[in-house]
Structure 1
Amino acid sequence: MASTPSAALNLNGYTDLPEGKIAAIVTYLHMGRPSPALAPAIPDGLSLERSRGETARYRDLFRRIGEPWLWFSRAAMPDTELEAILTDPRVEIYVLRDGSTDIGLLELDFRPEGEAELAFLGLVPGTIGRGAGRFLIQEAIRRAFEKPIGWFFVHTCSLDHPDALGFYRRAGFEPYKRAIEVVDDPRLAGHLPLEAGPHVPLLGSR
């Protein structure tokens, strides 16, 4: 097995990344109780439905939402591992639909005792700006706190939509931790197409 390249992190300046790696600043946010804001009504023409164990459907929607932002975790996950998550009764998957087309994803993970994670929330390109995101985040908060939890958390990173952090803060989440994530570029590993994530260019002649 090939050894994993390593580099000393410079906490007061720049750190060069090994070839084939990408990095992101991850911000963790939490909410101890729901904000008093009223949940908006679902936008006209849209519907929200529960999805249970539909792996192919989930992968397609995850890909359409996430490829522009280099969402790779579920793209790289083997089917058996993903199916175990999607069929776990403590994981709730909701799909936002525009007529017969899936356009949004909301995933809540209640597997940690007394906690809930907003694992994924996103919309396919071209659907932002209709109020669908506000509806989904308020649905996430409402559904999370219907359960006996004391901690609701989410994380976002610097590779995501530039308004993602502000979006979560406006919904009532507060940041509490930051981390640096360094991973193999999922495009070079074949998990995402080479044209995915144009805001993070491939280096070299590719």
Structure 2
Amino acid sequence: MDTENAHLPAGYYDVPANMLATIVTCLEMSAKPAPRPNPPAEGLTVERWPSPSLEEYRALYRRVGEDWLWVSRAVMDDDKLMAIIQDPDVEIHALMRNGERLGLLELDFREAGQCELAFFGLDKSLIGSGAGRILMNAALDKAWEKPITRFWVHTCHLDHPAALAFYQRSGFTPYKRMVEIFEDPRQTGQLRADAASHFPALHSK
């Protein structure tokens, strides 16, 4: 099937109770935007995390992403995940305060000439505090200091409701939408059962 040219006809489609459907928006920029000022740092710093262990990486990944149903890295084969996070063309950074990791920034330069903002997330205690701007400004600086012509990211409607607008304010422009369907990780035990209360799980009758 040619997915590039396939189109779903207009209408409603039933999604099985054990599956999730989400709208994914892809965004990109072709040049570094004008800088936006950082809010007061309140002791926050963005630091390179060159060699995370699988356990530490997954702990932060879950901390910032479980309530948004991030699941891919939580269930990925250990060897495959280790190959990604130790790849010299993948940069992992953590938002730190008092020695504690409170945010995840992952930049993927594995495709020549571009960078994917692969993961970007904060501990829920920091959402709305301005910490996201600090982390995004670091992402923009670190991405565009490399010889790239494209910086891109995708988000979906399971993410924080302000995420899409935040990316647009940061200089990204939407260019494509997709529908993604995947198994609900709360029903398989891959994520905790009460994760993402804003998008409740369905249970078969």
TM, length-normalised to structure 1 = 0.91
Moved more, 109-118 or 185-194: 185-194
Counterpart position of 1:195:
194
Pairing of 1:3-18 with structure 2 (within 5 A): 11-18=9-16
Structure 1 residue 42: Cα displacement: 6.6
Moved more, 45-54 or 105-114: 45-54
Letter of the 2:161 partner, please give it: P
Counterpart position of 1:67:
66
Counterpart position of 2:151:
152
- From 40, 43, 48, the counterpart of 2:41: 43
Counterpart position of 1:88:
87
Counterpart position of 1:56:
55
Letter of the 1:37 partner, please give it: P
Letter of the 1:74 partner, please give it: R
Counterpart position of 1:185:
184
Q: What CA deviation, in whole Å up to 9, does each residue of 1:52-110 have, x standing for no partner?
A: 23121111111011111101111111211111111001000001111121111110000
Q: What CA deviation, in whole Å up to 9, does each residue of 1:141-200 have, x standing for no partner?
A: 111111111111000001000000000000000000000000011112221111111122
Identity, % of aligned positions: 49
Structure 1 moving runs of 4+ over 6 Å:
none
Structure 1 residue 18: Cα displacement: 2.3
Structure 1 residue 20: Cα displacement: 1.0
- For structure 2, the 5+ residue unaligned runs are 1-6
* Residue aligned with 1:126, SS: helix
Determine the C-alpha separation between the residues in 2 that align with 1:96 and 1:202: 31
* Residue aligned with 1:121, SS: strand
Letter of the 2:96 partner, please give it: R
Determine the C-alpha separation between the residues in 1 that align with 2:145 and 2:137: 12
* Residue aligned with 1:89, SS: coil
Determine the C-alpha separation between the residues in 2 that align with 1:103 and 1:18: 35
- For structure 1, the 5+ residue unaligned runs are 1-8
Counterpart position of 2:164:
165
Counterpart position of 1:4:
none
Q: From the superposition, tell whether residues 10 and 36 of structure 1 become closer, same or farther in structure 2 (CA, over 3 Å).
A: closer
Letter of the 2:195 partner, please give it: A
Letter of the 2:27 partner, please give it: L
Note the aligned Cα RMSD (angstroms). Answer: 1.7
Determine the C-alpha separation between the residues in 2 that align with 1:128 and 1:42: 14
Determine the C-alpha separation between the residues in 2 that align with 1:148 and 1:47: 25
Pairing of 1:75-154 with structure 2 (within 5 A): 75-154=74-153
1:24 touches 1:158 (CA, 8 Å); kept in 2? yes
TM, length-normalised to structure 2 = 0.91
